Structure 1
Amino acid sequence: MDVLVLIVRILFALLFLGAGIAHFSQREMMAGYAVSKCIPAAGLMVDISGAVIILGGLMVAVGVWPDLGALLLVGFLVPTASLMHDFWRETDPASKVNAQTQSLKELSLTGAALALFAFFASPGDELDPLVPGSVLTP
């Protein structure tokens, strides 16, 4: 079971690590998209969100306070689903479908991150040695 949990953590984190790197390697493009969504201080928000998802993804993958890492990812996913993929505002049918798919993906990932949070927070230090324990349990 320990190996399975490690595989789950790594597979889940891969998306966020790749997206976080893209926040920095494609910063101008992402900031332009954020501006089109009326996000204030778009460049700064791209930097902050990129750092948050890299940190959260690493925490989950490596197992250092993975419950906190999962919550960081939730803190990124919820606003992203509603602010960046606001399908209800789209008028073009193809854009609407794409935005709705992305929004639902973000919400599904939110559910997975919350499930991981619950998994990591509940057993505390009783998890395998690759998970050094919950930040929320003494």
Structure 2
Amino acid sequence: MLASVFLAGGWSTLRDPKRVAPAAEPVAVPVAFRIPGLTENPEQLVRVNGAVQVGAGLMLATGRVPRLAALALAGSLVPTTLAGHAWWKEKDQDRRAAQRTQFLKNLSLFGGLLIATADTHGKPSLAYRTQAAAVAGRRSARHARRETSSALTDAAGTLRSMSKNAQQTVARQF
């Protein structure tokens, strides 16, 4: 359920990035300026953000690397919220209240995503398992390092896959 808002919003942004690009420009361009290799074109940046939301939303909804997917969604939510719901800039009291509500909704989503990022589905975390193995002596330190390395390699592969899927999604839109 947490992924649904990102799937709908990301898909909408992918289909019509021109609708949100003007609102995103004040946040997107400074972010792109600070990250080497990132385009400064607001329309492309919101399209990439939409692709991340769709890709990570699907991963979270289907339970594929949910912690990494939740982290990616949390990261995509920050610029979206700052660009789209800057309630402090609104002069009209009704619009200000509406934007504040949307800002707080996104803040709540962000909190839920942070919880999902830390959720291990009842299993001890990798850090706990590594520490327990070293303390209890049931596993050698070498085995623990291999297990950690394997988990990191899996995460890197997932990130590469997410990036490739996002690039393919953006390429199909053109």
Q: TM-score band (shorter)?
A: 0.7 to 0.9
Q: Which residue does 2:59 correspond to in 1?
A: 59
**Structure 1 residues 61-80: aligned runs within 5 Å:** 61-80=61-80
Post-superposition Cα deviations, 1:29-81, rounded to whole Å, max 9, x if no partner, equal 1223324x464221011111101111111111111111000000110112322
Query: Which SS does the other structure have where 1:81 is aligned?
Result: helix
1 CA distance for matches of 2:59 and 2:9?
15
Instruction: Name 1:25's counterpart in structure 2.
Output: 15
Distance 1:22 1:14 in 2: 12
Once the two structures are aligned, what percentage of the paired residues are identical?
Answer: 35
Q: In structure 2, what is the Cα distance between the partners aligned to 1:120 and 1:29?
A: 38
**Which residues of structure 2 form unaligned runs of 5+?**
30-40, 126-150, 155-174
Paired amino acid for 2:46 = V
Gaps of 5+ in 1: 1-10, 126-134
The code of the aligned residue for 2:75 comes to: G
Deviation digits for residues 116-136 of structure 1 (CA, Å, limit 9, x no counterpart): 1111377269xxxxxxxxx66
Give the TM-score taking structure 2 as reference length.
0.60
* TM-score under structure 1 length normalisation: 0.74
1:118 paired with 2:145, answer: no
Q: What root-mean-square deviation, in Å, do the aligned CA atoms of Structure 1 and Structure 2 show?
A: 2.5
Aligned-partner residue type, residue 49 of structure 2: S
Q: Partners in 1 of 2:16 and 2:7 — Cα distance? A: 14
